[in-house]
C-alpha cells in the first residue's frame, strides 16, 4: 500500500475543484482498506472515502486527514433461470457495469446508463434515473464497519433506501465502507419505459425497443443535457444535478401550484408521484423560474447551458465560488416558492469553514 502526502484532489473530481489530501491512498483490496484504516487510527486522522469523484464538492482547503480511494475491482455474473445475480467490486465503473449487463441482455440497470462514478457509490445515494433506482435491484451490500473491522452483507431492507438516500449517507454515515454490491437483474428481461421523456423518444418506433436501444437513447438524452461526461465540454464540468427534486405533501403541492398559476400562468408546474403519498416537484423548473436560467453566469461558475440543475465550473472556479452560487440559488428559490432545495453532492471539508449552512 502506497500512502502519499499532500495530493491535490481536484483532478479526482468531475467538478475539478478542491484542495489537497493530507494523506492519500488507493486501496485495491480489502486488506489494503484495513491497512489504510489502521494508519488513520494510529495518527488519529479523519477518513474520507472517495469513489469516482462525480458527486461531491471538496473544499479549497482540502481534507486534513486520509482520503481513501476505493479501487476494488471485479464483476461476476451468475444466471439462474430468469434471474442474473451480479457481484461487482466497489471500484468498478458504474456505466461500465450497466454496459456489461445490457450486453448480457440483463434488465434492471439500463435506464441508469451514462451516470458517472463507481459501483460503490450507487447504494450510498440510491442512484436513480429515468424510472429506475438501484434499490430496485440491489440484494445486498458488502460493507466494512470502520469501528470494528467486521465485513457484513447489508440487506436491501437494512439499507433503508429512500429518494437519493440510504443508511450509508444518513443515520449511519461514516460507519461503513462499501466494498462491493450484489444486484439481481432479469435475464432476457424487457427494458423499463416508465419515464415520459423516454416513452416520447420511442413513440414513433415500429417495435418495442431493446435494452441496448434504451441504453443508447438514455446516453443520447443525457448528452443533450450535458449529463454525459465528454472531454472538452465546459457544461460537463459539474457534479450533475446539484439539487434534489423536492418531495412535498399533497397540500403543499397544491399551494405551490396555486402560486405558480399566479407567477407564471403560461407555464405548467411539473409534478410526479413520490413515495408514501408525497408529490415530487421539479427542482430544475423552480430554479429556472427563480431567475437562474440555463447559461446563467456568476464569474467563473454558472448554470449549464443545457440543464438548469447543473452548476458548472466555467474555468478557474474555486469551491467557494460553487458554494456561493449554491447558496444564492437556494435562498432565491425559497424566497420565490417557499421551498428549500437540498444539495445532492456531498460537501467535503467544509465542516470547519461554516460554508453552505
Identify the architecture of domain 75-224 in CATH.
2-Layer Sandwich (3.30)
Question: 274 falls in which pLDDT band (50, 70, 90)?
Answer: confident
Q: Which residues are tagged catalytic?
A: 164, 241, 344
More confident residue, 228 or 294: 294
Query: What is the grid cell recorded at 175?
Result: 460507519
Helices marked H in 266-306 — which ranges?
283-289
Return d(Cα 115, Cα 239) in angstroms, integer.
11
Percent of the chain with pLDDT over 70: 98
Return d(Cα 292, Cα 294) in angstroms, integer.
7
Q: Of all residues in the chain, what percent are helix, strand and coil, respectively (each to 5)?
A: 30, 25, 45
On whether the pTM is more than 0.85, the answer is yes
Strands 346-348 and 56-58: parallel
What pLDDT is attached to residue 230?
A: 80
Angle (nearest 5°) at CA 270 between 265 and 276: 135
Question: 352 falls in which pLDDT band (50, 70, 90)?
Answer: very low
Q: At the top level of CATH, which class does the domain 234-348 belong to?
A: alpha beta
Q: How confident is the model over 288-329, as pLDDT tens digits? A: 999 999 999 999 999 999 999 999 999 999 999 999 999 999
Angle (nearest 5°) at CA 103 between 52 and 101: 50
Burial (0-12, 13-18, 19+ Cβ within 10 Å), 303: buried
Q: In the chain, what are the domain boundaries?
A: 4-70, 75-224, 234-348
- What kind of fold does domain 4-70 have according to CATH? 3.30.43
Return d(Cα 225, Cα 92) in angstroms, integer.
25
The interaxial angle of helices 211-224 and 94-103, nearest 10 deg, is 150
For 247, phi then psi, to 5°, come to -105, 120
Torsion of CA 5, 7, 20, 329, to 10 degrees: -150
Q: How many helices (H) and strands (E) does the chain have?
A: 9, 20
Return d(Cα 84, Cα 78) in angstroms, integer.
6
Q: How confident is the model over 62-115, as pLDDT tens digits? A: 999 999 999 999 999 999 889 999 999 999 999 999 999 999 999 999 999 999
Return d(Cα 288, Cα 182) in angstroms, integer.
38
Q: How confident is the model over 49-58, as pLDDT tens digits? A: 999 999 999 9
Return d(Cα 249, Cα 349) in angstroms, integer.
33
Quickly tell me which residue has 428481461 as its cell. 189
Question: 357 falls in which pLDDT band (50, 70, 90)?
Answer: very low
What pLDDT is attached to residue 107?
A: 98
Return d(Cα 62, Cα 21) in angstroms, integer.
6
What pLDDT is attached to residue 248?
A: 92
Amino acid at each position: 500500500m502506497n500512502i502519499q502526502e499532500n495530493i491535490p484532489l481536484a483532478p479526482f473530481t468531475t467538478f475539478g475543484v478542491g484542495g489537497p489530501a493530507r494523506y492519500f491512498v488507493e486501496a485495491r483490496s480489502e486488506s489494503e482498506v484495513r491497512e489504510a484504516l489502521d494508519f488513520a487510527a494510529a495518527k488519529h486522522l479523519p477518513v474520507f472515502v472517495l469513489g469516482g469523484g462525480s458527486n461531491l464538492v471538496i473544499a479549497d482547503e482540502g481534507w486534513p486527514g486520509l482520503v481513501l480511494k476505493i479501487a476494488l475491482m471485479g464483476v461476476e455474473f451468475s444466471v439462474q433461470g430468469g434471474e442474473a445475480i451480479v457481484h461487482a467490486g466497489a471500484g468498478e465503473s458504474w456505466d461500465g457495469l450497466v454496459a456489461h449487463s445490457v450486453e448480457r441482455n440483463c434488465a434492471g440497470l439500463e435506464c441508469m446508463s451514462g451516470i458517472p462514478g463507481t459501483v460503490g457509490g450507487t447504494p450510498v445515494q440510491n442512484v436513480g434515473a429515468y424510472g429506475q433506482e438501484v434499490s430496485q435491484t440491489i440484494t445486498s451490500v458488502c460493507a466494512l464497519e470502520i469501528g470494528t473491522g467486521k465485513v457484513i452483507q447489508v440487506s436491501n431492507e437494512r439499507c433503508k433506501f429512500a429518494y437519493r438516500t440510504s443508511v450509508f449517507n444518513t443515520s449511519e454515515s461514516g460507519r461503513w465502507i462499501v466494498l462491493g454490491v450484489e444486484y439481481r437483474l432479469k435475464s432476457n428481461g424487457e427494458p423499463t419505459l416508465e419515464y415520459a421523456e423516454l416513452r416520447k423518444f420511442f413513440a414513433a418506433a415500429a417495435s418495442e425497443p431493446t435494452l441496448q436501444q434504451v441504453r443508447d437513447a438514455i446516453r443520447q438524452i443525457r448528452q443533450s443535457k450535458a449529463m454525459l461526461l465528454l472531454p472538452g465540454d465546459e457544461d460537463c464540468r459539474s457534479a450533475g444535478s446539484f439539487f434534489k427534486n423536492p418531495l412535498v405533501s399533497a397540500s403543499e403541492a397544491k399551494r405551490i401550484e396555486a402560486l405558480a398559476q399566479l407567477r407564471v400562468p403560461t407555464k405548467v408546474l411539473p409534478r410526479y408521484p413520490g413515495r408514501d403519498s408525497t408529490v415530487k416537484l421539479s427542482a430544475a423548473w423552480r430554479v429556472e423560474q427563480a431567475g437562474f436560467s440555463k447559461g446563467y453566469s456568476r464569474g467563473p461558475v454558472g448554470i449549464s447551458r443545457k440543464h438548469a440543475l447543473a452548476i458548472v465550473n466555467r474555468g478557474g472556479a474555486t469551491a467557494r465560488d460553487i458554494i456561493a452560487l449554491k447558496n444564492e440559488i437556494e435562498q432565491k428559490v425559497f424566497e420565490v416558492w417557499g421551498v428549500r432545495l437540498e444539495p445532492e453532492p456531498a460537501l467535503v471539508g467544509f465542516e470547519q469553514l461554516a460554508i453552505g449552512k
